[in-house]
């Protein structure tokens, strides 16, 4: 490796400038409290993937148990065959009980 080559590289690398620390870093390190309502709009929480998957599965299971049970299939009504039907030869109505 040639030293002049490294100097050229260093020169080129120095063109990439990084910004200084933002003012918000001080607030974060020294614990200036953020109002809770602002957290509701801009806050984030980190959830491990296994926990997220477990919660999702629990929600699916809970939703499944809350579904209305499907109605049982109605039993087919017995069919009536009139093949052996025979009319009554003579109707003899008989009144049971008394007329008032």
Partner 1 sequence: MNQTAFQSAFDEHKDAVFRFAWRMVGPDFAEDIAQDVFLTLLRHPERFDPTRGTLRAFLLGVARNLALKRWRDTHRWDPLDDEAFMTPAIDPTQGETAEIVGAAVRTLPPLQREALILAEYEELSLDEIARAVDAEVGTVKSRLHRARQNLKRLLAPIRPSFLERSPHGTV
Q: Write down the residue that tokens 């953020």 correspond to.
A: 34
Q: How many CB atoms lie within 10 A of CB 71?
A: 6
What does the block give as tokens for 31?
């614990």
Which residue among 1, 40, 42, 95 contacts partner 1 (CB under 8 A)?
1
The DSSP H or E segment spanning 46 is none
Task: Check residue 45 for interaction with partner 1 (CB under 8 A).
Answer: no
User: Could you tell me which stretch among 13-21, 51-59, 64-72, 92-100 binds partner 1 (CB under 8 A)?
Assistant: 13-21
Closer by beta carbon to partner 1, 24 or else 79: 24
What does the block give as tokens for 20?
């200084």
Using CB under 8 A, list all residues that contact partner 1.
1-2, 5-6, 8-10, 12-22, 24-26, 28-29
């Amino acid at each position: 490796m040639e030293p002049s080559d490294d100097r050229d590289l260093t020169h080129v690398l120095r063109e990439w400038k990084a910004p200084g620390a933002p003012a918000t870093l001080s607030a974060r390190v020294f614990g200036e409290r953020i109002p809770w309502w602002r957290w509701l709009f801009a806050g984030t929480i980190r959830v491990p993937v296994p926990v997220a998957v477990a919660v999702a599965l629990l929600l699916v299971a809970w939703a499944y148990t809350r579904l209305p049970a499907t109605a049982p299939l109605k039993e087919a009504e017995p069919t009536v065959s009139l093949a052996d039907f025979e009319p009554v030869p003579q109707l003899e109505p008989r009144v049971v009980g008394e007329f008032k």
